[in-house]
Amino acid sequence: MDTDDFKINLNQNVWGLLLSLTTLGVSEYFNFKCLFWFGLILSVLTTISFTSTLTAYTINYCRKKIKKDKYT
């Protein structure tokens, strides 16, 4: 399998969530208290953002799917 065939597209919320969770992991591994609190706050905020965006996307997708199925 060639690496050109495998592409990952992530939106800003997913990148932010990955970065914040990585920050938490690094802070735990190296026992950095200040970085831990920063990572925790960042993780909570990005989780809220990710969840709300995913919920809105899912609702929008379901509405379009129902409307499409209704007319076919």
Annotated domain spans of the chain: 13-70
Please state the rounded mean pLDDT for residues 4-9.
70
How much is the pLDDT for 2? 59
CA distance 15 to 8: 12
> Which tens digits make up the pLDDT trace of 19-61?
999 999 999 999 999 999 999 999 999 999 999 999 999 999 9
Minimal CA–CA distance to 39: which of 21, 55, 16? 21
Question: Mind giving me the DSSP string for 13-31?
Answer: HHHHHHHHHHHHHHHHHHT
Q: What is the pTM of this model?
A: 0.75
pLDDT confidence band for 4 (50 / 70 / 90): low
In this predicted structure, the answer to whether residue 1 has a pLDDT above a threshold of 80 is no
How much is the pLDDT for 69? 80
